Structures are given as C-alpha cells and as structure tokens.
Amino acid sequence: MPIYTYRHPETGEEFEDFRQMKDSDKPFLAPDGVKCQKIIASGIGGWRLDREIYEIDADYCKKANPEFIKLRNGQRVKYDPNKHF
C-alpha cells in the first residue's frame, strides 16, 4: 500500500497514512478530530515527491556520484555536484 500525506487545515501539521489507492482521497482524521485533506502521495520509504532526489538526500547523491540523474519531469541530465546542490 502507498503512503499518503495529509495536512491539518488549522495547525499545518502533516500526517502520513498507509491506504489503498481507492481510499486515498478520503479525508484523514487528525487526533483532534479535524478532517485533513491529501496534499501529496509520498514515495517509497516516505520520500516526498515534491523535490528532486539531490534535494531529498544530498549525502546519498554525493556518495553515489551518478553520471546522470532523472528529474521529476522525466528529463535525464548529466549530474554535476556543483550545480545540483
């Protein structure tokens, strides 16, 4: 099951929840009983998909030193450690 992220409308606090895809748009109930709407589907292992991989885990990218990286828009670009940090 995928992980989905929901934001509390009053406090801005974010909650992650495992759900079936068919239930992803149903509101999440925060501990205080307020309904929270889905903001983004989280990736595998809880990685958020609203940033590039080099923004999520800079140390991993530096250690791996890939020749190319794939951006969120699907574009494949040559990796440059000076440019991508």
pTM: 0.47
Residue 22's pLDDT is 87
Chain-centroid distance of CA 69 in Å reads: 17
Beta strands (DSSP E) in 1-85 are 3-7, 14-18, 28-29, 35-41, 68-70, 76-78
Q: With 0-12 CB in 10 A as exposed, 13-18 as middle and 19+ as buried, what is 60?
A: exposed
Please report how many Cα atoms fall inside a 13 Å half-sphere around the Cα of residue 13, on the Cβ side. 10
Q: Which of 13-17, 23-27, 48-52 has the highest mean pLDDT?
A: 13-17
Q: Is the pLDDT confidence value at 62 over 50?
A: yes
Query: What percentage of the chain has pLDDT greater than the value 70?
Result: 84
* Tokens 């925060």 sit on residue: 30
